[in-house]
A and B are shown apart, each in its own frame.
Chain A
Amino acid sequence: DAKTTQPPSMDCAEGRAANLPCNHSTISGNEYVYWYRQIHSQGPQYIIHGLKNNETNEMASLIITEDRKSSTLILPHATLRDTAVYYCIVGLGANNLFFGTGTRLTVIP
């Protein structure tokens, strides 16, 4: 059963920030939010995860709302290589990840 809702597709201009939203209104208090992406014909790639606080790493930033019912993945300066399907996943840990259909992000030159 899907625990997250994501738009099926988004476009972003190269060099601009890509903001990918995710709704997870039924998230429980001890569940994390994970983001993975899958570039065509490759295995999914871990991006970032968080519980309550905003997180940032070398790839992206994760903004989680105070009520934890939604989050946004931010790619600060999108490049053509960021074109991929992005999956937002909610779970107790990184095991048994439930992938939905994700958001297909297209970065436009």
Chain B
Amino acid sequence: DAGVTQSPTHLIKTRGQQVTLRCSPKSGHDTVSWYQQALGQGPQFIFQYYEEEERQRGNFPDRFSGHQFPNYSSELNVNALLLGDSALYLCASSLWFDEQYFGPGTRLTVT
């Protein structure tokens, strides 16, 4: 049983560009959450998708948006990239309100 998978593993972008990160949840899970983890910090909650709708959102600007597809996979989009957006982006899947299982993350570097 494949766990949570994320793509790409690493990517480098330039300030002002846009980026899309992808996540496939663990088999049987219907809820996807996204977190940002800056170096040396704990993960910070961005938002959560359930039934293709954003259900909860953390303290992140509208530049951060997402989508969930009928197969429960999800995308995180970040527009107008800033240097401060450089971080490890983590996807977690779960059944609604059950414990979350995290993927390995996507390392984003903004130059």
Contact = CB atoms under 8 A, between A and B. Distances in A.
Q: Is B truly associated with A?
A: yes
B99 A49 contact: yes
A97 B100 contact: yes
A45 interface: yes
Interface stretch (A11-19, A71-79, A87-95): A87-95
Interface stretch (B14-22, B40-48, B60-68, B71-79): B40-48
B58 interface: yes
Contacts, number: 57
Contacts of A96: 33, 45, 48, 56, 58
B96 to A, nearest CB: 8
Interface string B85-111: 000001010101111111111000000
Contacts of A34: 99
Interface residues of B, number: 26
A21 interface: no
Contacts of B96: 95
Contact of A98 (B41, B45, B55): B45
Nearest to A100: B42
Contact of A94 (B58, B97, B104): B97
A93 B97 contact: yes
Contacts of A45: 102
B33 A95 contact: yes
B24 interface: no
A95 B94 contact: yes
| Residue from the set A43, A45, A85 with the largest chain B CB neighbour count within 10 Å | A43
A30 interface: no
A43 B42 contact: no
Contacts of A42: 104-105
A68 to B, nearest CB: 19
